[in-house]
Structure 1
Amino acid sequence: MLFHLPDPNTLYQALLDRDASYDGQAYVGVSSTGVFCRLTCPARKPKRENCTFYASVCDCIEAGFRPCKRCHPLEPMALADPMIATLLAALDERPAYRWREGDITRMGFDLSTVRRSFKRQFGMTFLEMARQRRLRDGFETLSQGGAVITSQLEAGFDSGSAFLKLIGKAPGTLAIDPLLYADWVPTPLGDMIAVSCKSKLHLLEFFQRKALQKELARLDRFAKGRLGLGRTDPGEQIKEELTAFFDGRCARFQTPLAYHGSDFSAAVWDALQEIPAGQTRSYAQLAQQIGRPSATRAVARANGANQIALVVPCHRVIGTDGSLTGYGGGLWRKQKLLEIERQYLPHPTKGSPHVTG
């Protein structure tokens, strides 16, 4: 659905015009506020560079945005199902609470019914929605500084501690003079975590990746405990390049990278960056490319150990039989990324078949 939308400039003009013809068909996520809106929202219009457009509320939520309290983009779903309305209202009242299955049953709802309804409407369960909101709110809370963190933790709120748990830190242990800075990066395919020093990008991962917590712990050890929060030049550069990538303007990433792996792994990651956008390779082809044709399994392991997603495009490696194979960010994201990158394929001249490798 992401690709049937008009171009972003057309949608931004529709946002400025509050064009009602797009109601229910297009939504805008605003990176500066973390909310998503209908295009008819009466709120003050955001800058163009802060806007990403989506075809459904499911896409907006998956990307980590919260619904706007002015235009209420979830209202149609809530009106269609009182159960959804009740649970969404409960989440709004207690966004930092760690919701569990028992809370749902105590409200008188059947777990399987709730799960199916939320999956159908939003592409995720209620508990997944609550956790994602808690993590993002936690990051924003921590970014505001120590006084806010302390007061929220003392008041029993869980959002700050939820994000601290993700990065493997206890309250009060975030470095105030970091060597590595963690930052939250919204994208059309979901929120990502970027970790960078002042000169290079060390990590870029979707926060749902199972290995993320271990990767962050390793980086914290590498930095001798000096992992903190904040923005850097490489961190801002990768945000701009990701925006251009998803907008269809450019598939080249030039942010300086810092590898954390063996020389063999580094060779694999360099080879991955040589695969043009829109093309794919098998593990065997990649092993041949680096001059180690018998090292297919080692290549696969290095591919899986990559912690700079999209920039080091491990999603462009597929099975010899054409199957997608595994992807730490989820196979659905791998499929979406490959679909996005088809727009970057050069158009073949008439009569000349195009070969994608």
Structure 2
Amino acid sequence: MNATIILPDPETMYQAIVDRDAEMEGLFLFAVKTTGIFCRPGCKAKPPKRENVEFFATADDALAAGYRACKRCRPQELSGSVPPWLTQLVDALEAEPTRRWSNADLIDMGLSPIRVRHWFQEHYQMTFHAYLRTRRIGLAVDMLNAGQDVTSVALDSGYQSLSGFRDSLRKWTGQSPTSIQQGEPILVERLLTPLGPMLAAASDAGLCLLEFADRKMLPKQFERINKRFQQPILPGTHPVLSEAAQQIDQYFRGERSEFTLPLRLDGTSFQETVWQKLLEIPYGQTRSYGELAKQLGKPNASRAVGRTNGDNRLAIVVPCHRVVRSDGHLCGYAGGLWRKKWLLEHERKARQTQLPL
């Protein structure tokens, strides 16, 4: 089941087109009558005249009206998807994860090193070559945790010397090979959603972060995780991340109302109590900050509840978006109020159809 999206007012949507406002991703699509093409709000193409614009909630609606998808912004795909021009390289990275790629290699594949660097900076907040280094370190950590000896791991990870491997490992993880073997890393993976990419982080102990990738506080959240758990944070895959991706996809499809993921809600005693209360808010319903404070037996702690709500590291799964002001108005969502509105409307519509889960 697809969620029914209530469109913003036309003038707000048109201004988003003029501003190429990618933060409106997921709220609407627009079509240009003179070209027969429909696009995302953040499309880089020249903004059309207002009288030539038609707005749609979904790609299916635009297609049904006879429009075709823009080849530049690819509105039928989730934001953050690998573009066709980069697919060959990404496939090659998966096939040879320890290969040391040079700019000459990219040029041989018909790719512009500058264009590749810009894409990785936009979607991973690091250059292409930095991404390669973190991938190699992630693979090395996996092998060390599996019990392989340091020398073999260094060579199998593409390092030419043991000293270079040790230096690189300490730079990226802050730990020595011996320390790594005695612990486990927190692994990070990107999840694509209708509201934009999210970053998920997990270890064997459970999911410890799920945030929209454009959240300004994201770097601070990673710092807090690193300080609290004292584990290296690296890109990689993990069964908990795979299950999180599946359940988040089901949520956005309207097929899931509860999550069954192992969670790391580590915080102060007060924070953990508030986050547990958030988990008790029924799907499709809301609570006010004051109501939560009263449930905690601290009726004067509304502000503290609000701060703790904002410190939640597990968006959607720990549903801080279900907390509103006492008058019912939306406020205080780190992922953006437009996302909060979308999520609440999505849940309300899904609940009306008697979601089975």
- Give the TM-score band, short-chain normalised: 0.5 to 0.7
1:214-242 alpha-carbon deviations (Å, 9 max, x no partner): 22243345565722222212111112222
Please report how far the alpha carbon of residue 346 of structure 1 lies from its aligned counterpart in structure 2 after TM superposition.
8.9
Cα distance 1:198–1:114, how it changes in 2: closer, same or farther (>3 A)? farther
Indicate if the aligned counterparts of 1:181 and 1:196 stay in contact, CA closer than 8 A. yes
Which stretches in structure 2 are left out of the alignment for 5+ residues?
A: 6-20, 58-72, 143-184
State the partner residue of 1:26: none
TM-score, normalising length: structure 2: 0.57
Aligned residue pairs total 256
Aligned to 1:203: 209
Q: What residue in structure 2 maps to residue 80 of structure 1?
A: 35
Question: Does 1:228 pair with 2:191?
Answer: no
CA contact (8 A) 1:137 1:160 kept: no
User: Which has more radius of gyration?
Assistant: 2
* Structure 1 residue 165 corresponds to structure 2 residue 125: yes
C-alpha contact (below 8 Å) 1:77/1:121 kept by paired residues? no
Matched, 1:307 2:267: no
Deviations 1:187-211 (A, max 9, x none): 2222211111134101111112111
Task: Select between 258-267 and 320-329 the one with higher mean Cα deviation.
Answer: 258-267
Which residue matches 1:245?
Answer: 251
Residues 238 and 320 of structure 1, relative CA distance in 2, 3 Å threshold: same
Q: 1:4 to 1:214 in 2, by over 3 A?
A: closer
Deviation at 1:279, TM superposition (A): 1.1
Cα shift readout 1:21-44 (whole Å, capped 9, x = no counterpart): xxxxxxxxxxxxxxxxxxxxxxxx
In 2 relative to 1, CA 268–166 (structure 1 residues): closer, same or farther, beyond 3 Å? farther
The code of the aligned residue for 2:248 comes to L
Cα deviation for residue 155 of structure 1 reads 3.4
Query: How far apart in 1 are the matches of 2:199 and 2:322?
Result: 21
Cα 1:246/1:284, change in 2 over 3 Å: same
Q: Which residue number in structure 2 is paired with residue 94 of structure 1?
A: none
Counterpart for residue 194 of structure 2? 188
Alpha-carbon distance, 1:344 to partner:
2.2
Please, what is the CA RMSD of the aligned residues? 4.6
Matched, 1:62 2:20: no
CA–CA separation in structure 1 for the residues paired with 2:352 and 2:297: 27
* Aligned residues of 1:185 and 1:193 also touching (Cα < 8 A): yes
Q: 1:162 to 1:224 in 2, by over 3 A?
A: farther
2:99 maps to 1:147: yes
**Structure 1-normalised TM-score?**
0.57
1 or 2 for the larger relative contact order (CA 8 Å, sep ≥6)?
2
Q: How many Å separate the matches in 2 of 1:224 and 1:297?
A: 30
SS at match of 1:193: strand
1:219 maps to what in 2?
A: 225
**Structure 1's 133 and 187: CA in aligned 2 closer, same or farther, altered over 3 A?**
closer
Shift of 1:265: 0.7
Structure 1: runs of 5 or more not aligned: 6-57, 64-72, 92-103, 124-128, 348-357
Once the two structures are TM-superposed, the CA of residue 290 in structure 1 deviates from its matched residue by 1.7
Contact 1:149–1:160, Cα closer than 8 Å, also in 2 = no
Quick one: structure 1 residues 242 and 114, their matched pair in 2 at CA, closer, same or farther if it must change by over 3 Å? Answer: same
Would you say the 8 A contact 1:164–1:170 is kept in 2? no
Q: Distance in 1 between matches of 2:295 and 2:55?
A: 44
Secondary structure of 1:80's counterpart equals coil
Counterpart-to-counterpart distance in 2, 1:313 and 1:231: 24
Q: Which one of the candidate residues 257, 277, 285 is aligned to 1:279?
A: 285
Q: Which deviations, in whole Å up to 9, do the C-alpha atoms of 1:108-156 show, x marking residues without a partner? A: x7xxx57989x98799xxxxx79x9996549995973353665569934
Q: 1 CA distance for matches of 2:205 and 2:286?
A: 30
Deviation at 1:161, TM superposition (A): 4.0
Is 1:344 the equivalent of 2:296? no
Distance 1:324 1:218, change over 3 A: same
Q: 1:318 aligns with which of 324, 328, 347?
A: 324
Quick check: 2:203–2:238 contact (8 Å CA) kept in 1?
yes
Amino acid corresponding to residue 192 of structure 2 in structure 1? P
| Aligned residues of 1:315 and 1:338 also touching (Cα < 8 A) | yes
Q: Give CA-to-partner distance per residue, 1:158-205, whole Å, 9 cap, x none.
A: 1334445369x9553554216111111122222211111134101111
Residues 3, 253 of structure 2: 8 Å contact kept: no
The 5 Å alignment of 1:9-158 reads 62=25, 77=32, 80=35, 137=82, 141=90, 144=94, 145-147=97-99, 151=103, 155-156=113-114, 157-158=116-117
Q: 1:160 to 1:247 in 2, by over 3 A?
A: closer
Partners of 1:202 and 1:302 in 2: how far apart? 16
Pick the aligned partner of 2:336 from 330, 342, 348.
330
- Kept after mapping to 1: 8 A contact 2:208/2:314: yes
Which residue identity is paired with 1:279?
Q
Taking the aligned partners of 1:190 and 1:134, their CA distance within structure 2 comes to 5
Letter paired with 2:113? A
What is the aligned partner in structure 2 of residue 254 from structure 1? 260
